A and B are shown apart, each in its own frame.
Chain A
Amino acid sequence: MNAFFSQEVPLSWYLLLSAVLFSLGVVGFLIKRNLITIFMSIELMLNGVNLSFVTFAHQWHAVKGQIFVFFVMMVAAAEAAVGLAIIIAVFRARATLAVDRIDRMKL
């Protein structure tokens, strides 16, 4: 049981997972055609980067990395509120969420 608990995971695996999550977010941003799903892909990218921050905070035993993630979360919350409000405004003006048909900045 002791050997079972002492198993360790290289931090590079966490960093690789974070890179893969970020790339999946970018791919989602490129292939999705729905405004809300594109926005969710951006959140996925933010989460991937946050995992990197926490991993490096663990590596260097630094608290500031974790605090940066806290700030990223707060900014993401503000961004989600404003972004979804913009999506609602766009939907009101166009009655669609397909990005192919939202091709003008003017409402």
Chain B
Amino acid sequence: MHLILFLVFAGFCLVGAINLLLQSHPINSALSLIVVMVSLAVLYLLLGAEFLAAAQVIVYAGAIMVLFTFVIMLLNASREERTLGSRAALRVGFPSVVAILAIIATVILHTQGLGVARLSDGITSTEELSAVLFTKLLLPFEVTSVLILIAILGAVALAGHDARDPQGIRERTGGK
């Protein structure tokens, strides 16, 4: 059962990720990224991380991807133009990616002592997680909340109405 679930959702993950690269319209890429994130949530559940599976669906597939699709529709993002890209990306980038993937795969396959995952392993309860999060790691948690507050202020300051340029987006995009 575990094997079948893993194969199905790992397959969804890979198909979604490859589809993200192949699609030329950003909204299609965004939708395939949602597929990847939801399948990852199932994989987290298989590994016994129930809280993270819920958070993955709510935060990633929910909040972040809604933000992405919202911006894509707001900016009326059009079909991507295909260009060759930089020469550095072709000559250095892709060989490096292949090399890094090969090195990581070799290391993983040669690592001794990696266990197996079963359905009967049990899950890490949210209670267990929060006991550590709110005692030992309380300071990082509070710092994260400050970070999010700063991010909200930054987002509003960046995307908000620019007082120096009252015409704004309307003029440059031809009133779209």
Contacts and interface: CB of A to CB of B under 8 A. Distances in A.
Interface of A: 4-17, 19-21, 23-28, 30-34, 36-37, 39-41, 43-44, 47, 50-51, 54-55, 57-59, 63-64, 66-67, 69-71, 73-82, 84-89, 91-93, 95, 97-98, 100
B29 A23 contact: no
Contacts, number: 247
7 contacts: A27-B97, A36-B68, A70-B52, A71-B144, A74-B144, A82-B155, A91-B75
A11 B6 CA distance: 11
A87 B169 CA distance: 13
Interface string B1-29: 11110100010011001101100001001
A80 B36 CA distance: 17
A89 to B, nearest CB: 5
Given A36-B71, A85-B154, A100-B83, A73 B116 contact: no
B115 A84 contact: no
A63 B158 CA distance: 37
Given A11-B115, A70-B133, A26 B97 contact: yes
B109 interface: yes
A33 B111 contact: no
Interface string B149-176: 0111011111100100100110011000
Interface of B: 1-4, 6, 10, 13-14, 17-18, 20-21, 26, 29-30, 33, 36-37, 40, 43-44, 46-49, 51-52, 55-56, 59-60, 63-64, 67-68, 71-72, 74-75, 77, 80-83, 85, 89, 93-94, 97, 100-101, 104-105, 108-109, 111, 114-121, 124, 128-129, 132-133, 137, 140, 144, 147-148, 150-152, 154-159, 162, 165, 168-169, 172-173
Q: Which 9 A-B pairs have the closest CB atoms?
A: A78-B151, A85-B159, A85-B158, A85-B155, A8-B116, A24-B17, A7-B3, A81-B155, A19-B104
Given A7-B3, A58-B47, A81-B152, A30 B94 contact: yes
